[in-house]
């Protein structure tokens, strides 16, 4: 593929990675290396130009480097697992609230048939919309700027649910109602207190409950001196899964 | 959904989970609990019958509890992440070899448009086929019982590649050729020696190289006594990602 | 050193380890290997006899393989760190309760000048005594079969404290009193709820508070196939440290 | 204890910790807080003065905050475990090389009867000496500015050995000779390649071999929002233990 004006390009220099749009004023300077619009335009993806390997961004690159965020996002390490764990597929309709910057929705919408998404805050609603439009994502997502509690929805309407709000407790009755019997729901919770609270709230109404943490440990890529990076992300959130019991 | 004869059912009793086919001779006894065909037939999913919550198996359940295996499989904790990291989507064609029990293929085929899969051993080839057919998976997978090295393939044919063989080194030249420029490849490797070897082999021909480990830590789900499980999986494999450089 | 009757011997066969007393009826059979009293008696430590490397047990070996236990012990991975973190040395007097099987006391008493230990249950008191006597440990420990709450102690008597009871809260006022100003205390707590409770209880009366978990990940020792063991201990307890504030 | 001129003081402000010497020009400013010599002089340890809790530094504080370093040190999380694992006690003589900044020696010397330490580089030798003298540590350490290989030592002279040099291989024959039969040795190695190399080198001459990594995960100490810190140390080194086989 040949890079043309307007494309998003991932420029990789060793372990450093930059996501940029190829506009006429594009320019990237890192230490003694510099690359400009004319250097990159018309080049084939995969080429190394002035020390930067030119690539197309993956979904992970877009979320981590391209999305604007005003809140803690659901990181790909978590959302990639959650998407499959919710058993999403083209025949499935997912409920999601709150949407925040839209990072997790961008992942779930790849696997699900459709996503009904609710975001109560207008600034987040606009941010998510703008992130998705910029990268041409989430065409199968119906995003509404409202509280999920006020949405008019049939019972048993959704095949799965994902909840990412500070306090999920007031929502759990309604989540239970709009899910199909046996359908999975997931939530990400930063603190152990929230996990205890949600476990208490779903006791009896959900079964097959799991709580886990996901850790990624990255390595330095020197084959003669293989070893983990010095530091790592220690925590993003606890992930809770359960299924609607009737 | 109403459970009928022939359905696969996931029966959940607290933290114990059983995947069974609902045949006339179905019966599950766990300690003092017993459930039989007539108890489950015609019940709605999500119900608790004789102490077991009746659910439909997710893809993860199928892989972990339903697939037969003759080898170490690629675990969902790894393959769920790899699927997205390879940037699979409906427009993408994935290369995969070796297939083993077919666990990772079943994941990748959910996201990819098509998967071209190669398995050199006939027993594994048959096992994967049988696992997929049993659970109605992998219709977009073209599986061949042959060495990938002997396959006739155009240059730049694949959008992504996943390699799970003991020694990937003899294959890397061909992997490079059949990938599109900039396309991602991934591999899972049990030992640090293999990681060093593969890092050496791809130096110069691939860029954007990452090596990582994924850990899942599960918790006991008592809200008043929240704490991790006593033991956890410490290692399945090191995951290596890279992209074709031209 | 020459092994004689009555000695404790650690017999190592690859990754399998056995701690035995060299009595006349000593005999160890593992698969096709067997070793008896006469084989080991008079042998030098470090020798390999009939496939077993003969060693003297370390303190860790004694705790893990030699101590009888009726409760969860404080594991060496935790107690070795705690001992130094409490800043024990020959001039320091440590308070410890409850003692349980005496595993942590056996570690702390190596570094501390003296340990005043309290165990409310008579069966644990006897067990700890018996474990220590068997291996000739803890001569500088004054163990009492009583509730620490009922002990008559001066204010500011101890240089450090270690607490390992189900509910430390009723004890914290007295712990504060008997510690010297600025002195460290530590506790090990299985659940997050207990950690939250203890954090609340010491707010204002202790400073320099830390909470951590310690993980050990072991590797298979094949140099050509270096990789972690398949499973690991995921949790023993959360460790809390703080210092008396006045 | 009353703080007097010349004392080392640990000043703790929430999770921030500062190790300072109480000299006439002492002054610490953190954001809007400031504390000076006259504020601290004569105060009792444990008091909170102008927002800082005044404490005496522990050995861990001294190593992490007080020692000057020109190299990667052996961190307390590792050395505290190693000290006990080498089964050090007052009757034991430890061999250690290279010494680096002297951080691990300061730990081992607390448990061991005596430590014979070798450091080939003069700048490190002087640095270790100066770190120890400043904090009045390591009186039972005999440090020599020489290569351990050139030291004149009897066979079977040491009860334990700790090796922290880039390439331990040339030293292993001599380490074996100067250890007592069955005596433990430990080493810390940053890379997997070094672990493989050392495992190969000791095969047949050492037994009871273990390789492990130690991780500490710290928590935020808010009892209502208990959760791990965002980041953690992912790697310091692989620790290898073995015992002399004869």
pLDDT of residue B71: 86
The CATH number given to whatever domain includes residue B192 is: 3.40.50.150
Cα–Cα distance for residue pair D187/C26, rounded to 1 Å: 34
Same domain flag for B41 and B68? no
B231–C227 CB contact, under 8 Å: no
Same domain flag for A155 and A91? yes
Same domain flag for A53 and A132? no
Identify any residues that bridge with A141 across adjacent strands, giving them in sequence order. A115
Q: Is residue C1 part of a domain?
A: no
Same domain flag for D18 and D97? no
Distances (CA, A) of C45 to A240, C1, C7, D160: 52, 6, 11, 14
| A85 → chain B, closest CA residue | B60
pLDDT of residue A40: 97
Distances (CA, A) of A10 to A21, A28, A218, C46, C185: 9, 11, 20, 58, 51
DSSP D186: E
Q: Does A197 touch chain B (CB under 8 A)?
A: yes
**Domain that residue D48 falls in:** 8-57
ipTM rounded to 2 decimals: 0.97
| D213 → chain A, closest CA residue | A228
Find where tokens 């070795």 sit.
Answer: C80
Model confidence at B93: pLDDT above 90: yes
Model confidence at B220: pLDDT above 90: yes
What number of other Cβ atoms are within 10 A of residue B237's Cβ? 20
Rg (CA), chain B: 20
The CATH number given to whatever domain includes residue B29 is: 3.10.330.20
Q: Predicted confidence band at D71 (pLDDT cuts at 50, 70, 90)?
A: confident
* CB < 8 Å to D196, chain B: 192-193
Same domain flag for A92 and A135? yes
Same domain flag for D153 and D210? yes
Q: From start to end of D119-244, where are the E strands?
A: 141-144, 160-163, 184-189, 206-220, 227-228, 231-233, 238-244
Cα–Cα distance for residue pair B29/C190, rounded to 1 Å: 33
Q: How many structural domains comprise chain B?
A: 2
pLDDT tens across the length of chain A (246 residues): 999 999 999 999 988 999 999 999 999 999 889 999 999 999 999 999 999 999 999 999 999 999 999 989 999 999 999 999 999 999 999 999 999 999 999 999 999 999 999 999 999 999 999 999 999 999 999 999 999 999 999 999 999 999 999 999 999 999 999 999 999 999 999 999 999 999 999 999 999 999 999 999 999 999 999 999 999 999 999 999 999 999
Cα–Cα distance for residue pair B232/B235, rounded to 1 Å: 9
Same domain flag for A142 and A22? no
What number of other Cβ atoms are within 10 A of residue B231's Cβ? 12
Q: Decide: D101 and D77 in contact? Cβ < 8 Å.
A: no
What number of other Cβ atoms are within 10 A of residue C32's Cβ? 6
Tell which of D228, D229, D238 to mutate to test the A interface (max A CBs under 10 Å): D228
Sequence-distant (≥ 6) Cβ neighbours of residue B164 within 8 angstroms: B74, B96, B97, B98, B99, B100, B104, B187, B188
Rg (CA), chain D: 21
Q: Is residue A3 part of a domain?
A: no
Q: Is residue D217 part of a domain?
A: yes
Give C171 to chain B, closest Cα distance, Å.
20
Q: What average pLDDT does the segment B224-229 reach? A: 98
pLDDT of residue D15: 87
In this complex, the residue of B218, B226, B232 whose CB is nearest that of residue C231 is B232
A residues 130..149 contacting C (CB < 8 A): none
pLDDT of residue D80: 98
| A192 → chain C, closest CA residue | C192
Give C243 to chain B, closest Cα distance, Å.
25
Same domain flag for B101 and B199? yes
Strand A16-21 relative to strand B114-118, pairing? unpaired
pLDDT < 70 regions, chain C: none
Q: What average pLDDT does the segment D98-122 reach? A: 98
- Rounded percentage of chain B residues whose pLDDT exceeds 90: 98
Model confidence at D194: pLDDT above 90: yes
Model confidence at B31: pLDDT above 90: no
Cα–Cα distance for residue pair D130/A98, rounded to 1 Å: 57
Strand B27-30 relative to strand A227-228, pairing? unpaired
The string of DSSP codes covering A43-97 is PBTT-EETTEEEEPPPHHHIIIII---SSPPPPHHHHHHHHHHTT--TT-EEEEE
Cα–Cα distance for residue pair A246/A183, rounded to 1 Å: 11
Counting runs of H as helices and runs of E as strands, what totals does chain D give? 7, 15
Tell which of C228, C230, C237 to mutate to test the B interface (max B CBs under 10 Å): C228
Q: From start to end of chain D, where are the E strands?
A: 8-13, 16-21, 27-30, 33-36, 48-49, 52-55, 93-97, 114-118, 141-144, 160-163, 184-189, 206-220, 227-228, 231-233, 238-244
Same domain flag for C142 and C171? yes
B214–A214 CB contact, under 8 Å: yes
Identify any residues that bridge with C11 across adjacent strands, giving them in sequence order. C18, C54
Token couple for C195: 């950690």
A222–B213 CB contact, under 8 Å: no
Find where tokens 């600025």 sit.
Answer: C182
CA neighbor of B166 nearest in space, from B237, B63, B219, B81: B237
Q: Does A215 touch chain D (CB under 8 A)?
A: no
In 3-state terms, what secondary structure has residue C27? strand
Q: Does C227 touch chain A (CB under 8 A)?
A: no
Same domain flag for B225 and B111? yes
pLDDT of residue D104: 98
Same domain flag for D74 and D49? no
Q: Does B45 touch chain A (CB under 8 A)?
A: yes
Q: Does C213 touch chain D (CB under 8 A)?
A: yes
* CB < 8 Å to A224, chain B: 196
D224–A193 CB contact, under 8 Å: yes
How confident is the prediction for chain D on average, in pLDDT?
Answer: 97
In 3-state terms, what secondary structure has residue D228? strand
Cα–Cα distance for residue pair A122/A100, rounded to 1 Å: 10
Q: Is residue A1 part of a domain?
A: no
Same domain flag for A223 and A176? yes
Q: Is residue C218 part of a domain?
A: yes
Q: Is residue D46 part of a domain?
A: yes
pLDDT of residue C236: 97
Mind listing the pLDDT tens digit for each residue in D19-44? 999 999 999 999 889 999 999 999 99
CA neighbor of B22 nearest in space, from B40, B34, B35: B40
In this complex, the residue of C191, C231, C233 whose CB is nearest that of residue B225 is C191
Instruction: Read off φ and ψ for residue B20, nearest 5 degrees.
Output: -135, 155
Q: Decide: B58 and A184 in contact? Cβ < 8 Å.
A: yes
Strand A114-118 relative to strand A141-144, pairing? parallel
Q: Is residue C104 part of a domain?
A: yes
Q: Does C166 touch chain B (CB under 8 A)?
A: no
Q: Any alpha helices (H) in chain C, and if so which ranges?
A: 37-40, 59-61, 76-85, 103-111, 122-134, 172-178, 192-202
* CB < 8 Å to B59, chain A: 84, 87
pLDDT of residue A67: 98
Find where tokens 């700790």 sit.
Answer: D162
Mind listing the pLDDT tens digit for each residue in D216-233? 999 999 999 999 999 999
pTM value is 0.97
D46–C243 CB contact, under 8 Å: yes
Compute the C-alpha angle A52/A57/A63, nearest 5°: 125
CA neighbor of C52 nearest in space, from C32, C66, C68: C32
Chains that touch B (3 or more CB pairs under 8 A): A, C, D
pLDDT of residue C238: 98
Strand B114-118 relative to strand B27-30, pairing? unpaired
Q: Is residue D2 part of a domain?
A: no
Distances (CA, A) of C5 to A213, C34, C132, D89: 51, 18, 20, 24
């Amino acid at each position: 593929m040949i890079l043309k004006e307007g494309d998003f390009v991932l420029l990789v220099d060793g372990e450093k990675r930059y996501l940029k749009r190829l506009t006429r004023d594009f320019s990237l300077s890192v230490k003694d290396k510099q690359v400009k619009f004319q250097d990159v335009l018309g080049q084939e993806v995969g080429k190394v130009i002035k020390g930067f390997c030119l690539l197309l961004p993956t979904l992970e690159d877009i979320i981590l480097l391209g999305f604007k965020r005003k809140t803690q996002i659901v990181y790909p390490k978590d959302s990639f697992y959650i998407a499959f764990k919710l058993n999403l597929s083209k025949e499935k309709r997912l409920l999601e609230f709150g949407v925040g910057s839209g990072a997790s929705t961008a992942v779930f919408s790849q696997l699900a048939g459709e996503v009904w998404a609710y975001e109560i805050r207008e600034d987040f609603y606009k941010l998510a919309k703008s992130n998705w439009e910029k990268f041409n994502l989430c065409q199968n997502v119906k995003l509404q700027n409202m509280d999920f509690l006020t949405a008019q929805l049939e019972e048993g309407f959704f095949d799965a649910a994902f909840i990412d709000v500070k306090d999920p407790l007031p929502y759990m009755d309604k989540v239970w109602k709009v899910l199909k019997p046996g359908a999975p729901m997931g939530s990400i919770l930063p603190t152990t207190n929230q996990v205890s609270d949600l476990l208490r709230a779903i006791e009896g109404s959900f079964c097959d409950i799991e709580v886990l943490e996901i850790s990624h440990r990255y390595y330095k890529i020197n084959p003669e001196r293989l070893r983990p990076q010095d530091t790592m992300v220690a925590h993003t959130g606890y992930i809770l899964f359960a299924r609607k019991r009737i």
